[in-house]
Structure 1
């Protein structure tokens, strides 16, 4: 016990055994499909689409047994576009995840690197877009990051062991700017419960200078201009702080699972951060705020066929009053444990005034905005895991 505690605190204990057991695993997902968008800046779009149900990736995962219930571990995970071979996450070689750390069966795990925040860890899996509805079924613009659009650089993360179904954790990211300790700072905490048919989760995320530290932390990101591209929140790129509070749950009865999520997202002190095109509406103060609520349902019709339906509602308040209503429908057929084919459709309707202080247009996550208040997309594809 003492050995485990000291190692986790120091993050630098050397293994005593000269020939400790270790393993390295190569893994990955290739997800490719065909997508239709009825209105992409006013035009119909037919395109090949990579990483729909899950982002296409390959990775290396390794562990080394240090004895006494302690192990060293690492993950290096690359994202890519299967249709052109380009790196994902703005050209980062291991843009999905990259971390090293120490884990204890009794006390949990501490890791250092580019990692997921607590909203993703504890509530992300409960939204339809992270299950069967593809990235397009995420909440508008993935404004609460439940669909994991953004990772966290320079992060120190703790994840607890499982205590009778309960888990908890937290993350802290240093901004790394001399003389400005709080600049680009990110922190989050969360907890979850999973036991039998019931799953619950809650998370909190606080991001300073989100346009640069969170939305703009890849090699291709702009260091002066806006990295917040969705019209749902692009007008709030000059915000000093982004705050997300999230919660969700799911209950399984027989072949059916019903779930729900709620999040409150705020872009605070809009007009504070300066840069090119960060404040197109000229806001001088205040916050852009959003309530988001989703209800989803899935049914395992046969051992191979999963059906899903969901509805999501987003209401803006504070600086603007945009509303987004979104319906999702999907089917996923498993050819084997590692290979499946799927079809999904998403419809979104927008109303009110959006973050650019103009009439809101539909803007399904991951797509170019519509020229009207409505947008429809459909995706058919195949996923293989290895």
Structure 2
């Protein structure tokens, strides 16, 4: 009887240890507010919209300690529209869906649907976090516009004092692979970032090899930010070649239009803390697409997980990306609340 009790205690202890070595976390973000949009020559749009500061989403992430510094990890994340309860895009986990292995000394490998590095590495270099609708740098830098690739194998190096490199390959960036490599839209994403103390910097290279032939789409980006304490300075430069884009904004439907095959884009911005809030702004321009404009924003922390926000943005030619200079302005103004859990 005594031996049986001892064995039961050992088994219970082992089960508790195994459970402590695995974890699954449910997380999410809920964002909704009022958005006013006006394109020159068109009627204005006034709406209660979801995901103005950040896209609303929910997800699960987890890890299991396999021993010896090795872990199994996964993330499943779905975008949602708070204003009508629908999902964003097709598929249940349309934002991220990947599984992988990581090691404390050798880095991490992820397999599945993931953000390209042109988007992932510039989130905090843009004072708007690459979001806030047209205010984010995605208006002039396509690779930074919250882009994700399907069917991607991505490797992240260990972090060496704030320095990290990564490279990924997509067997076809959207949908399922079909027989013959030349029939798939393959993609490469690679980059290096540094984040330590007041300095943050990144360089990325993204390339799309279209299965239908034609020139490869290439986006090379370099940028950084320096935090002086009282103010943070942000800057970015991008060289974009043969980027196939479709016109369209939150206020106008997407339509195919002529566009310049190559363009040089840049952004300069500032951000500064003000009490429990933060004010920020930027100017961005895509030279050969003739897109240019400025944006300003403000967030106020109501708690550690909840904040209110407001922003205004005025950008010319956002809906065209054409080489023709038509100076059609698009203005957006909005305010709302964001809660993270």
Task: Name the TM-score, length of structure 2 as normaliser.
Answer: 0.84
Q: What is the CA distance between 1:301 and its match in structure 2? A: 1.2
Give CA-to-partner distance per residue, 1:189-243, whole Å, 9 cap, x none: 1001111111111100001239x9xxxxxxxxxxxxxxxxxxxxxxxxx964221
1:187 aligned partner: 188
Separation in 1, partners of 2:66, 2:321? 52
Partner residue, 1:128: 127
| Structure 1 equivalent of residue 339 of structure 2 | 384
Cα separation, 1, equivalents of 2:278 and 2:98? 34
Q: Cα distance 1:62–1:97, how it changes in 2: closer, same or farther (>3 A)?
A: same
| Aligned residues: CA RMSD | 2.7
Counterpart of 1:126 in 2: which secondary structure?
Answer: coil
Q: Indicate yes or no: 2:141 matched with 1:169.
A: no
Residue 203 to residue 323, structure 1, CA distance change in 2 (3 Å): same
**Aligned equivalent of 2:248:** none
Q: Structure 1 residues 335, 239: CA separation in 2 closer, same or farther (over 3 Å shift)?
A: farther
Aligned-partner Cα distance in 1 for 2:26–2:306: 17
Matches within 5 A, 1:144-223: 144-148=142-146, 150-175=147-172, 176-181=177-182, 183-209=184-210
C-alpha separation in 2, matches of 1:95 and 1:298: 31
Tell me, in whole angstroms, the C-alpha distance in 1 between the residues paired with 2:221 and 2:181: 29
Which whole-Å CA distance do the structure 1 matches of 2:194 and 2:298 have between them?
A: 27
What's the offset of the Cα at 1:118? 1.4
Residues matched between the structures, number:
312
Question: Within the alignment, does 1:261 sit opposite 2:236 as a pair?
Answer: yes
Any conservation in 2 of the 1:239–1:269 contact (CA below 8 Å)? Answer: no
Checking the alignment, whether the CA contact within 8 Å between 2:73 and 2:102 is kept in structure 1 is: yes
> Which residue is 1:301 aligned to?
274
TM-score normalized with structure 1 length: 0.75
What is the Cα deviation at residue 280 of structure 1?
5.8
User: How big is each residue's C-alpha offset from its partner over 1:298-355, in whole Å with a ceiling of 9 and x where there is no partner?
Assistant: 01011x1101121111111xxxxx311110111110001100000000001239x955
1:53 corresponds in structure 2 to 53
Mapped contact 1:255–1:301 kept (Cα < 8 A): no
Equivalent residue, structure 1, for 2:293? 326
